[in-house]
Every structure is written in structure tokens, then in C-alpha cells.
Structure 1
Amino acid sequence: MASSSRALTRLAGPQLAPRAQMQVPAARAASRIASITTTSSARKFAAPSARLPRTQQSQILSRQFRRTYADSAPAAPVKKRKVRVFRWLWRLTYLSVLGSIGYVVYDGYVARHPEDQFVPDPNKKTLVILGTGWGSVALLKKLDTENYNVVVISPRNYFLFTPLLPSCTTGQIEHRSIMEPVRQILRHKKAAVKYYEAEATQIDHARKVIKITDNSEIKGTITENEVPYDMLVIGVGAENATFGIPGVRDHSCFLKEIRDAQAIRTKIMDCVETAAFKDQATEEIDRLLHMVVVGGGPTGVEFAGELRDFFDDDIKKLIPDIADRFKVTLIEALPNVLPMFSKQLIDYTESTFKEEHIEIKTKTMVKKVTDKSVEAVITHPDGSKETVTIPYGLLVWATGNALRPIVKDLMSQIPAQKDSRRGLAVNEYMVVQGTRDIWAVGDCAVAGYAPTAQVASQEGAFLAGLFNNMAKTEALENKIRELSSNLNLKPGNTAEITQEIETVEKRLRRTRDVKPFHYSHQGSLAYIGSEKAVADVAWLNGNVASGGKLTYFFWRSAYLSMCFSTRNRVLVSLDWIKAKIYGRDVSRE
């Protein structure tokens, strides 16, 4: 006992107190008892494998924790993935909406707060542009007005997006949504441009002056004047051709200007309300509700489709008593409608018109028009001809172009134009043949292409590049003359000036290298009613022909993108939404 106490004292060290030394054996005994009790209870309640020898336990554990591989990857949580996709779509949607709203607001601010303009040098050449159609506006849009004194003359102080004009006749689109004021366009040019709301009545080619007349209802003290020019661009378009058929100009409606669309809209509702008048005769109702369209081109086809939609979607719901008597007839002198489209799309259009109960009379020539009927000659497949009388309430003439008087007068002054019949003959640079300082674009020019808005727009853009290059060429030539005159003024600088002259001459050769105009056909579009459209679009080395409801959405997006400004796009979009929600407006005015 004494030896064990001495051993404990040696282990504990001198720090242990005598009392602590006495408590060590008791504490050690208690810990041994507790460990024995715990071990026995753990063995009692442990798993069977825990009571096995250690070698067997390791084998069991290795089998339990062995890495295994599944036959396929675990399925991802579908709900979480869908939620994540919708979350990103929602973010993309509202960010796009916010971005679009911000862009529209910014564009409106820029339109309302244009930068200051400066007056061009009066010593520069005067460039006069006649008309505010597709060709003239495309020229103005890309022309650098700093290089010339630009003057625009037109009786129409706005640009009209003509492809959507048929939609204005039925209230699908308001007419001001497809109009862009010319002064709004000119105000955003760097150099100021003069505009005269007048009609050019005569061009004196020898004196290089243009006679203009104020044809507005309110006139000042000066109603006629002359405008001199150094360079002239004629973009006055064409008139409606009647082909000398009696009664066409007196009794039919045309579809070229805003006032034409307004007149057609008024007459449509006049026919409808008169047909609904009390105790109206059945034959008279049938006549009033028979709408005849002459011309199977895109304008005539789109107007017929819009007219059918107007009655099916709106008039039939508001005046169901007479709606079933409504009828649309399309007259075309050629063997088929839409001759510029592929055969596949022509057949699709004709079958769609048949479903919509729009009658197509091809190989039919109008011979006479009265206030209530059309006399026409139909050529049957066997070659026989039949004269028919077609009663109508509304007649729309949507075919043919004729020369304006100012173009005819100019052609009579130029000997090189004596053989031209359809307009001013131009060369590959749009220069009027027989002149050096007159160019022509659009329907008044004969360049070997179809008279369409697409052709006129590309011609105007080509002329803008040509005029910009001409101004650069003149500036470079003046610089070469100036350098050449200073060549021997300062001793020792001959080599330096000579090198600069060579550099300017290289730039001059590149600037003069202007390729002739070449039309690039982007495709043809036409709306055929019932929210269907046809498209013949150029793609790579061929064309893609399509038709149906998906093409209708493409037609809308294409026309929307071709609108002149963001303002027009917003207004047209709002008109489409309004018509879809509330229907077309059936008021007379």
C-alpha cells in the first residue's frame, strides 16, 4: 500500500495535494467500473456484425460501402427546370418590353428636339427634287445635303406608305398612321432643305428652270413662280390609266392617294346603309352590295381580301339582315391574278378566293362603265367571246399607269425621248437620255424594271450614293488643282506635294468608280383575306414561295419593318391591336 502510494505520488508530481492523492485510487476504480458497464451494454445492444471478429467486420463493411453505378443518370427535377425556363422567358419578355418602350421614348424625344441646321453655301449647285414618293424620299433619306442647295417641290407634303393603303379603305388602319410629314424628314438633315408645297407644271430644259403653281385652297399673292436648277431629279410618279375606256374616270374610284382611300371608305358605307334602307328592292340591294374590283395585281387582290374581311368580321354582325347578299368580283384582263408570283401561289390565291366567295373573272376586258354597271367582254377557253353586264354599287379601278402632263411635256422637248411611250427613258445611271443634268426615278422612269415601290426605293438610294460621290469627286479635283498651283511656290517641297497629289488622285479614282444601277429583287407579298397571305421571297440563288396564316404574320412583320419611321410602326401596330379587340370602325366618315 505504501509502495503504490509512492508510485501515485511520483506520477502526479509535486503539484498534487495530499487529499488529491488519496482520491486518485477511488476515481480510477470508478472509471474502470463505468467502462466495463458501458462495454457490456454496447455489446448487448450492438448489431450482430459488431460482435464478430475484426476481419469479418471489415469484410462486411467493404461490401456495405462498395461504390456502385446506376444504369442511367438520375432524372432532373422537371418542375424546377420548367420553373427556371419560365423565369428566364419572363425576364427576357419584360426586358424586351422595357427596352422597346425606352427606344420609342428616345426616338420621340429625338424627333421633337432636332439638332440645329446650317444654311448651305449659296455658291454650291442647286439640286431640285420633284415629288415625295418612294424614289424621292429614299434619295432624301441618304443624301448628304451639305454638298448641295436642295429644294423639294411636291403638292403632297407627306410620304405615303402605299402598300397598306387598301387597309385604310376598311378602317383596319387609320390613314395618318401611314403618312410621314416631309418637313419632319427634312428637319433632321444636317443642312437645311427648302420645301415648296406646289405642283411642278412645266420643265424648261433649255433655260433650266421649273414652273410651279400653288394649287391649294388658300392662295397668297404669288400663285406661280419659277425655280432654277443645276441638277434635277424627277420623281413625280404616274397617273391612273383608264386606257380610253368611257366612264372610268367619272364613275370609278382609284386607289393611289389618301383621298382615294377616304372616298372608297365613304362609298362603302353609303352602299351598306342605302341597302339597309326601309323597303329597298331586292334587286337594288344586290346591286348596292356588289363590289367590283378591276385589276388583279397586288393592290386589287389585297383590296378584295380586305373588303371581304370587313363584311365577314364586322358588317355581318352589325347588319345581319343584308350581310348574306354581299358579293365581291375581281376582273382581270390576263389569264390569272398576281402575274408576278409563282404558279403555285397563283393557284393558292384563286382557291382561297373561291373559299371566301370572291368571284374572279380572268381574260375579261372592260369596255364601258356607267354609274350602275360595267360592260365587259369575256374570252372563254375555246376562244369564243361573251359580252356581259355587271351591276355594281362600288367600282374600284386598280390597274395601269399613265404619264403625267409634266413628263409628257419634257419628253416633247428632248429629241432622244421621241420613241419612248411609257415614261422617261434613262440609262444605267438613271440619267434621262438626251440630257446631262436630269435624272428620273420611280414610275415616271423607264429603266427596264416593273413600276413598283421596291424598284423606286432602290433607284432613289442609288442616286443618293451617286450624288454623294459626285460631291466628293468635285472636292478632290479642286484639291488637286490647288496642290498643283502651289507646287513651285515654296522651294524644297516639290516631292512632298507631288506625293500628296498622287494620294489624292488615288482617292479620286476610287470615288469615280461608281457601278451602274442594278435592281435587287427582294420578293413580293400580298394579303389575300381571312388572315392569309402569299409571299414569293428571294432566298440565296432562288425564291421561297409560301402562303397561309404563318405567311400572314410574315407579311405584317415585313410591312411593319418597311414603314418609314418608328412613329409609323407604333401607330400601325396600335391600329392592328385596336381593330382586333374592338373591330373596324363602320362610321361613314
Structure 2
Amino acid sequence: MVLRTPSAAIAAASSRRSILQSTIKSSPRSLLIRRPYSNSPLYSSPFKNRPQRQLPSLSSPFRRTIANLTEPKNDSSSTVASTSPVPPKKPRFRVLRYIWRATWISALGGVAYMAYHIYDSKHPPEQLPQDPTKKTLVILGSGWGSISLLKKLDTEDYNVIVISPRNFFLFTPLLPSCTTGTIEHRSIMEPLRHIIRHKKRAVKYYEAEATKIDMQKRVVKINDFSDIKGSVSETEVPFDYLVVGVGAENATFGIPGVKEHACFLKEIGDAQQIRKKVMDCIETATFKDQTEEEKARLLHMVVVGGGPTGIEFAGELHDFFEEDLRKWVPDISDKFKVTLVEALPNVLPMFSKALIEYTEKTFKDENITVRTKTMVKKVTDKNIDVEITQPDGTKVKESIDYGLLVWATGNAVRSVVRDLMNQIPAQKNSRRGLEVNDYLVVAGTEGIWALGDCSATKYAPTAQVASQQGNFLARLFNSMAKTEAVEVELYNLDQRIQASKDEEEKAQLNAEINIKGRSLSKIKQLSPFEYSHQGSLAYIGADRAVADLTWFGGAISSATGGELTYIFWRSAYVSMVFSLRNRILVLTDWLKTKAFGRDVSRE
């Protein structure tokens, strides 16, 4: 027998204790075995005052005891328990897992869709050259009507020429947001080259302004008014078919001083001018030794026009002040003021009465002054003279000082359209623009169509009307091309019948003529243009909007207003933007404005 020192005994005991603990941990709780303390000197502790727990040795009898305890009992109860089927566990949160997977699949599909469209937009295919045998279709303008026509038109059937002084399409519903920097102007500009480069047959574009339409010679005279002119600044473009979509000018109603002193809101340059002038007024008002009267005048922003454009600009201006100017320029917090002037009894006349009242109440809460039944009579560089109709019918004259005046009301006929109207006797009684028939053909002409704000129809001159007119004309021109192709085939078949002497061949040709004739009648069955009103939207400030919508062709209508409508307003406008590129830019601008605010620097 080998005698161990106390330290060696302690080490051996610790080793066996660790082995036993690992064995017990791996065994079921019911197999925990407790043994009495041993009095063997081998397990005696060097600390005599503290009792030590004796660990059993892992001898063969102990192993057999563990094995016997771990064997299952052969009684009937254990047998039944072991043989009875265990019910499967029901998976928890199955619906959440399906939603999670669907979300991932949708996200991957969206990324793939975006990647494809981005690649497709950056890599246009090869185009067919223009065919001298095809007819020439000239489109004037790059607004809602002209671009809608161009996007849906099959250019394989025509030699298309686009003439416009601006080489982009402007998404005008979001133009008021550019005046305060909520959206950058490039985000709502769709380059015209991006559109025409993706057409099947090459489309020619001339950046010029149409100055005259000669009906007798069937030519359009155009002039290059750019700052850098070439050797030729004026030329003529012949046409077989002509679509006039040049839009309209700002109507001043003959009021003196409007053109000289007011800011308009139709083009991207107008929005940039307003943005610059707002900051000019603010910085000038905070100039050293400025009088209180002059500060009040400079910080008074007046908007003339209670339509959607004027309402949305007033709301954007209020947001700019409340969310940014008040914080960065605290000196003007008690003097900044916005006034809306409208000659009619109420604002937003195309909306329902409930939404008109909601808009006026919201403006009152936002401290925007609404002055209805107020007609502008004269405009100077510092004030406007107005005539107010009182409830009793009396009229009172008043002068309103302003720092910024925005004119957002009415349309006027452009000079090129008026010149064309003077050439056509059937247009002598027209005042609002070119009168057209149910197929948008200009009355008194052949092969000339008009759409958008330059045409006089029974519908309001809105972007929605112009867009639907452009889609209609695209269907019309595509149908005309198919009709002409079928007529050529019918003519050739008729010539073959006359030249043929075989009766069986003549019968086959006659059957083919009948089939072509039926298809031709179907192609010609194009219904006249009928406008389908989808509703009206307007932003009124403070993250609120109003919507007057119609569903199922006008069978159901709804009028809503508030913050949820504002979310719908944003989503609707994003979906209406023509390209994926501009949708991403607009969304990015909104996020940037929310995170960092609007830029208050002067350009």
C-alpha cells in the first residue's frame, strides 16, 4: 500500500469530485445519489474544524449501481407510457413566419425590379432611322398632353418631330414645393431626351419656340431663342399631321402692374425666382436700422388666386416659416405673415363645400389670412389696390402692402395660338383657345389637333385633362396607322383579283378581303374623347391635405381631409411621376427635408 501525503490526497479527491459532478450533471435529476460521509483517512480533510463531503469512488460496484438506475423499468405503466404516441407540437407564430418570408420575397422582387428599370433606362436600344415613306407628325410642346401622347405613340408608323423651348417635362403639381426648397427642381424635371431615346423609331427634337403655323403651306415656323445661337435662328418645319400642345400663358386680366411686379408660378424659373425673393425679403427685413413699418411690409407675403396652386404655395410657405425660418431667423417670428386673396366667394371652387370649409378653418389655425370676394385692381412695386365686396353688397377699396406677390390665377392664349385662330374662320368666336371636336381635331382644319390648356373644351384646363387627351390621341394615331396599313393591303388584294384568272384563287382572295374588311371596321370603331375625372388633390400645409375623389367612373365619391389624406397625397403624386428616377429623387428630397430641414441660404 502506498502512503500519500495530505496534499496528494486532496488533489486526488478533487479529481474524483470533478468526475462525479460531470457524471451527475449528464444524468437525469432522479439519478442524483447521496452517500454518507466516509471516515476513511483517505478523505479526511486537513481542515479538521470543517466537515468534508466524502465522494464515492468510481469503482465497478458504483458503475453497476448507476447502470441499474438508468435502465427503464419493465412494469406495465412504463410500457404504456413509452409506447403511447406523442402528439406533435404545433408550430408557433406560423403566420408571422409567412409574413416575414413574403416580406423578404417582396423586397428582393422590388430590388430586382428597380435594378432592371435603372439598367434599362441607362441603356437604350438601337432605333430605326426615320423613313421618308412615312408621314411626318409634328408635336408642339413638352407639357402633360404632348408627353402623354409621345409616351404611348407607336413611332414606327410616323416620322415624329418634337418642338419645344424646354427640353424636359415638368411635373407641375409639385412645383409649389420647389419654391421653399422642400423638393429640388431637378427632381421634378424629366429630360425629354430620356423619353424619345427609348422609342422604336428615332424621334427628332428641336429646342425652339413655334412662332407661326402656316396652314396653307403646312409648315411650322420656329425660332431659336437660346442664349447661344447658331448660324440659323429661324427656319420652317413641314408637317403632314400637327398636334398643338403649347399650353397657355399667365392671365393678368389687363390689370396694370401685374407683369412688372408679380411673380408667377408656371415654370421652373418662376419657382427659383420666388425662392430667391423670399430670402431677399427676410434678409432685407433684418438689415441694420430697418424701420418697423418696412419690416412688416417686407415680411408680408401675398398670394393672389385661391385655386390648388395658390393654396399649395401658401401652405408650403407656412411650413417653411414654422419649421425652419422661425428657428434660424427668430427676429421675424412675430412679423411674418401670409395673405391669400381670391375674387370668388370661396377658395378651391372645384372641391366640395365640406373641404372648402375645412381648408379655410385650417388656414385660420395656421394664421394664414384668407380674403375672399377681393378683386385686385392695380399692382405697384410695394402694394396692391383691391376692391372688397361686403356682405351687404357694398364695395370698399383698400391698399395692401407686400414684400412678395405671387400671381397664381387664370390662363391666357399664347400668341402662336391666337395667330392660328385668326387664320381659321371657324375659330372667330373662340376666346379661351382652339375649339376642337370630339376627336380633338381643330375646328375648320384637317390634320391639325389641339390638346391641353391651348384648346377650348367643356373641361377645366388641368393636367389631368391634358394627360388623358394625350393618351387618347396616341390611340387615335396608332389606329390611323393600322387603318392605313389594312387599306393598302385591301388595295393590293383587289389588284391581285383583277389580275388573276383562276376562280379558286379569286375566291381565296375575296375571303381574305372580307376578313381584312371586318378587322378594318373594328379598328375604325374608336369612341370620341370622354374625360374621366379621377378627383382633385391639394396640400394645405401643416402635413394636411384635402382630396375630392371619385371611384368607378363617378358612381362613388369621397371627400377627405387631414393627415392621412396628406399621406395619400404624397403617395398619389409619387405614383404619377413619369419615371422611376424622378420617384426616387422626390422621395429622397422629402426624407432629406424631414431630417435636415430646408435650406435658408440665398442662391
TM-score (norm 1): 0.86
User: Counterparts of 1:240 and 1:488 in 2: how far apart (Å)?
Assistant: 61
Q: Check if 1:559 corresponds to 2:573.
A: yes
- Determine which of 449, 464, 472 is the counterpart of 1:462: 472
Q: Check if 1:573 corresponds to 2:583.
A: no
2:290 is aligned to: 280
User: Counterparts of 1:88 and 1:380 in 2: how far apart (Å)?
Assistant: 65
Q: Check if 1:324 corresponds to 2:324.
A: no
SS in 2 for 1:396: strand
- Determine which of 543, 564, 570 is the counterpart of 1:531: 543
- Determine which of 557, 561, 567 is the counterpart of 1:543: 557
Give matches, 1:369-408, under 5 Å: 369-408=379-418
1:357 is aligned to: 367
Deviation at 1:286?
A: 0.9
User: Counterparts of 1:125 and 1:440 in 2: how far apart (Å)?
Assistant: 18
Q: Check the 8 A contact 1:428/1:517 in 2, yes or no.
A: yes
Name the amino acid aligned to 1:499.
A
1:136 is aligned to: 146
Q: Deviations over 1:63-91 (max 9, x none)?
A: xxxxxxxxxxxx999xx43xx55555444
2:122 is aligned to: 112
SS in 2 for 1:388: strand
1:42 is aligned to: none
User: Counterparts of 1:569 and 1:232 in 2: how far apart (Å)?
Assistant: 32
Q: Check if 1:267 corresponds to 2:299.
A: no
Give matches, 1:42-121, under 5 Å: 80-81=92-93, 87-121=97-131
Give matches, 1:102-501, under 5 Å: 102-490=112-500, 491-492=502-503, 493-501=505-513
User: Any stretches of 5+ residues in structure 1 without a counterpart?
Assistant: 1-49, 51-56, 58-74
SS in 2 for 1:487: helix
SS in 2 for 1:450: coil
User: Counterparts of 1:513 and 1:531 in 2: how far apart (Å)?
Assistant: 47
Q: Deviations over 1:147-198 (max 9, x none)?
A: 1111100001000000000000000000000001111100000000100000
Name the amino acid aligned to 1:235.
G
Deviation at 1:388?
A: 1.0
Name the amino acid aligned to 1:313.
E
Q: Check the 8 A contact 1:127/1:151 in 2, yes or no.
A: yes
Deviation at 1:105?
A: 2.2
Q: Check the 8 A contact 1:428/1:447 in 2, yes or no.
A: no
Q: RMSD across aligned C-alpha pairs, in angstroms? A: 2.3
Deviation at 1:242?
A: 0.3
Deviation at 1:135?
A: 0.3
Name the amino acid aligned to 1:528.
I
Name the amino acid aligned to 1:305.
G
Q: Check the 8 A contact 1:120/1:147 in 2, yes or no.
A: no
User: Counterparts of 1:261 and 1:427 in 2: how far apart (Å)?
Assistant: 35
CA 1:588 to 1:99, structure 2 compared with 1: closer, same or farther past 3 Å? farther
CA 1:183 to 1:499, structure 2 compared with 1: closer, same or farther past 3 Å? same
Q: Check if 1:588 corresponds to 2:602.
A: yes
User: Counterparts of 1:505 and 1:120 in 2: how far apart (Å)?
Assistant: 29
1:504 is aligned to: 516
Identity across matched positions, percent:
65
Name the amino acid aligned to 1:570.
I
CA 1:101 to 1:587, structure 2 compared with 1: closer, same or farther past 3 Å? farther
User: Counterparts of 1:238 and 1:488 in 2: how far apart (Å)?
Assistant: 54
User: Counterparts of 2:357 and 2:114 in 1: how far apart (Å)?
Assistant: 41
CA 1:365 to 1:469, structure 2 compared with 1: closer, same or farther past 3 Å? same
SS in 1 for 2:497: coil
Name the amino acid aligned to 2:409.
T
Deviation at 1:93?
A: 3.9
User: Counterparts of 2:571 and 2:309 in 1: how far apart (Å)?
Assistant: 18
SS in 1 for 2:127: coil
Q: Deviations over 1:303-359 (max 9, x none)?
A: 000000000000111111212211100000100000000000000000000000000
User: Counterparts of 2:112 and 2:321 in 1: how far apart (Å)?
Assistant: 38
- Determine which of 513, 532, 536 is the counterpart of 2:525: 513
Q: Deviations over 1:239-292 (max 9, x none)?
A: 000000010000000000000000000000111111121222111111111100
User: Counterparts of 1:250 and 1:405 in 2: how far apart (Å)?
Assistant: 19
User: Counterparts of 1:179 and 1:94 in 2: how far apart (Å)?
Assistant: 33
User: Counterparts of 1:503 and 1:146 in 2: how far apart (Å)?
Assistant: 24
Name the amino acid aligned to 2:320.
F
SS in 2 for 1:153: strand
Name the amino acid aligned to 1:485.
Q
User: Counterparts of 1:200 and 1:91 in 2: how far apart (Å)?
Assistant: 56
SS in 1 for 2:405: strand
TM-score (norm 2): 0.84
Name the amino acid aligned to 1:304.
A
SS in 2 for 1:267: helix
Q: Deviations over 1:518-562 (max 9, x none)?
A: 000000000000000000010230311000000000000000000
User: Counterparts of 1:471 and 1:245 in 2: how far apart (Å)?
Assistant: 48
SS in 2 for 1:486: helix
User: Counterparts of 1:241 and 1:422 in 2: how far apart (Å)?
Assistant: 11
Name the amino acid aligned to 2:199.
K
User: Counterparts of 2:139 and 2:550 in 1: how far apart (Å)?
Assistant: 32
User: Counterparts of 2:457 and 2:424 in 1: how far apart (Å)?
Assistant: 17
Name the amino acid aligned to 1:210.
V
Name the amino acid aligned to 1:338.
L
SS in 2 for 1:236: coil
User: Counterparts of 2:90 and 2:292 in 1: how far apart (Å)?
Assistant: 70
Q: Deviations over 1:202-249 (max 9, x none)?
A: 001111011000000000000000001111000000000000001000
CA 1:477 to 1:359, structure 2 compared with 1: closer, same or farther past 3 Å? same
Name the amino acid aligned to 1:532.
R
2:23 is aligned to: none
Q: Check the 8 A contact 1:535/1:551 in 2, yes or no.
A: yes
User: Counterparts of 1:513 and 1:588 in 2: how far apart (Å)?
Assistant: 57
User: Counterparts of 1:394 and 1:477 in 2: how far apart (Å)?
Assistant: 61
User: Counterparts of 1:563 and 1:375 in 2: how far apart (Å)?
Assistant: 39
